[in-house]
Amino acid sequence: MLCLSLGRQQSAWARALLQFQPKFVGGKELVRFIHLDEADGTPYTPAGIPPYAPSLQPPAYVVRKTGFDLLKDPWCNKGSAFPRSERDRLGVRGLLPPRSLTLELQAARFMEDYYHPRHLIPPEDVKSGGVTPEMARRWKVLQELQDRNETLFYRVLFDHFTEMAPIIYTPTVGWVCVNFHKLYRRPRGMYFSAEDRGDMAAMVYNWPQQDVQAIVVTDGSRILGLGDLGINGLGIPIGKLDLYCAAAGFSPSKVLPVVIDVGTNNAPLRADPHYAGLRIPRITGPEYFAILDEFVTAAMTRWPNAVLQFEDFSIEHAVPLLERYRKHHLVFNDDIQGTAATALAGLYGALRVLAQPASALGEQRIVCVGAGSAGMGVVRMIAAGMQKQGLSFEAAASRFWVLDYNGLITASRPDLTNFVKPFARRDASHEGESLLSVVKRVKPTILLGLAGAGRLFTEQVLSAMNEGCPQQRPIIFPMSNPTSRMEATAEEAMRCTAGRAIYASGSPQPAVEMPDGRTVAVSQANNMYLFPGVALGAFLGQTRIITDRMLMAAAEELPKLVTQEDVEKGLVYPRLASIRDITASVATAVAVAAGEEGRLRGRMREKFALGPDALHTFISRSMFYPEYKALVHLPRGIDE
Ligand SMILES: O=C([O-])CC(=O)C(=O)O
Ligand SMILES: [Mg+2]
């Protein structure tokens, strides 16, 4: 109701009226008085003490729950609208996105979804055949299931892994991250922001689980090939940990997805009223490292046995962070190390398809487009593989041509980091050369795409690859994710190479029907083949750190798991349907390598002494399988 009162006399009258009329009911304003000056009708604020308007509704509710229990109770839950003071009072700090939204914003977001269900809005990826509205709808259905019954969710995922991996993980997870601030429904995982400095050691205790075995953390700075998505990037750790549970048999109650909020340089996202991360440009420099140090110390103090996976950090932080922690903690960077080991495994698989020995790796000419964390990690790992085949580091480095958005990288560049420098070409006259020109000149046998910049492998580039490899089938791995960012689709690669390419892409692609009626098989070169097994082997073995040798063992194990029948079809990775067996074998190889380095502890050390089979059996039997267990209620006072 709106009351207009004209003149000073009426103001007094209006105040008197308020004594009898509650002004607010349930926090909603019922009556609003606007006072207008008698002479000119302009609004003014009446002098004096504002009226007292007792509400018939209580101003507060008493709750007995705290933490997650409170957030799961629909009666007291406020979602992302809990104010800061309440988050501290009720033990939910860190369980919600950092910025407090309002009920009005939440209502507006709901109405948007009510009229235009998000899954019906064509995702950005749809044109490239990546994420369709139907995939987005299925993600939503699975998400709702995960929120109400994790055992059933994992059983379904377990039984339909090949079909559902692209829904809960790449590429659909890319669409989820882009829209995370609009899709946000229930709390999952933890948020640590720049404003939490000094409090993180306490905040970790808001997480309800004492036994956390695996943590995946991102700062959202380079989400797949989609760039800076701020706290929306939390979708990636969630998807990765879904795979930890489905593929590696970690228990869903013992994994923790985390996002670190140090701001975002994505200006449109920052300005979006629904975005619930800090609305500041990214913090960098010493302050950034201080925030990360505080988080790592807090997490490793409460959960000293957990394996910590770094995911989708942009290169300027990914490399120094890995170097900072890898000598002290059970950590690895999936993009630098997981993707790299996966790529090397795929190349060994491709050599099997070509009926060449592993030693032929050192004879390849490799063009890699993308010099970020994934690109340089891959290049370094393949070079390490070549060294194992007997090449010197210099000889191995000379087999690579690395390009970034400025073209071919040569030693003449003034700003080369130590990570890139050894792979810069010596000949400055080729500085900045285009991809097409490099491919025509160098005639590479292997073309890798890790730039996250879309279809860089044009028809001309693909045709030049084909022409440059008359003797052996060209190996083409467009590894960027999601589908919209991959360098070439399978169809494009096969069309331009007359079906000769040995093709593997980061995001899934269908087999290709050739005009002559042949069907050419393609593979998926995604780190999901390796990170679950690396984490499982390292966690069960409590190896304290994750070494290059352990990662190399994982890369060498994977191609052995491709059946001869699949090799003959041109596949370079094993079938996803057997992901649990793959993970168990990778974890065993990791554990054997750790055992040889004297790093295994506990039961795994005993099993190592008995041989790889005993290790494999122990690892397989340690995996969580989704089935209902008897539930026991412990009354207060009885210890577990
Ligand atoms: O998440 C994936 O599908 C693979 C990956 O780590 C990336 O692209 O950053
Ligand atoms: Mg990644």
Q: State the average pLDDT for the chain.
A: 93
Bridge partner residues of 520 (DSSP): 512
Question: What is the pTM assigned to this prediction?
Answer: 0.91
**Mean pLDDT within 368-387:** 96
Pick from 48-57, 62-71, 260-269, 465-474: least confident: 48-57
| 147 assigned to a ligand binding site | no
What is the C-alpha to C-alpha distance for residues 311 and 304, in angstroms, rounded to an integer? 20
The tokens for 273 are 């009223």
Pick from 41-45, 193-197, 283-287, 319-323: least confident: 41-45
Pocket flag, ligand 1, residue 526 (CB < 6 Å): yes
Whether residue 4 is predicted with pLDDT greater than 60 in this model: the reply is no
Q: What is the pLDDT of residues 295-328, one digit of tens each?
A: 999 999 999 999 999 999 999 999 999 999 999 9
Is the complex ipTM higher than 0.85? yes
Helices 315-325 and 285-302 cross at an angle (nearest 10°) of 40
For a substitution probing ligand 1, which of 236, 244, 477, 530 has the most ligand atoms within 8 Å of its CB?
236
Pocket flag, ligand 1, residue 312 (CB < 6 Å): yes
Whether residue 88 is predicted with pLDDT greater than 50 in this model: the reply is yes
Residues 6+ apart with CB under 8 A from 73: 63, 65
**Mean pLDDT within 591-615:** 98
Pocket flag, ligand 1, residue 206 (CB < 6 Å): no
- Residue 228, pLDDT score: 97
> Residue 627 C-alpha to ligand 1 middle, in angstroms?
29
Query: What count of other Cβ atoms lies within 10 Å of the Cβ of residue 69?
Result: 15
Percent of the chain with pLDDT over 70: 94
Q: What is the pLDDT of residues 451-506, one digit of tens each?
A: 999 999 999 999 999 999 999 999 999 999 999 999 999 999 999 999 999 999 99
Q: Which residues are catalytic?
A: 169, 240
What is the C-alpha to C-alpha distance for residues 34 and 236, in angstroms, rounded to an integer? 50
- Residue 20, pLDDT score: 44
> Residue 224 C-alpha to ligand 2 middle, in angstroms?
5
- Ligand lying nearest the CA atom of residue 526: 1
Residue, of 376 and 9, whose pLDDT is higher? 376
- CB burial of 312-347 (b: ≥16 within 10 Å; e: otherwise) equals bbbbbbbbbbbebbbeebbbbbbbbbbbbbbbbbbb
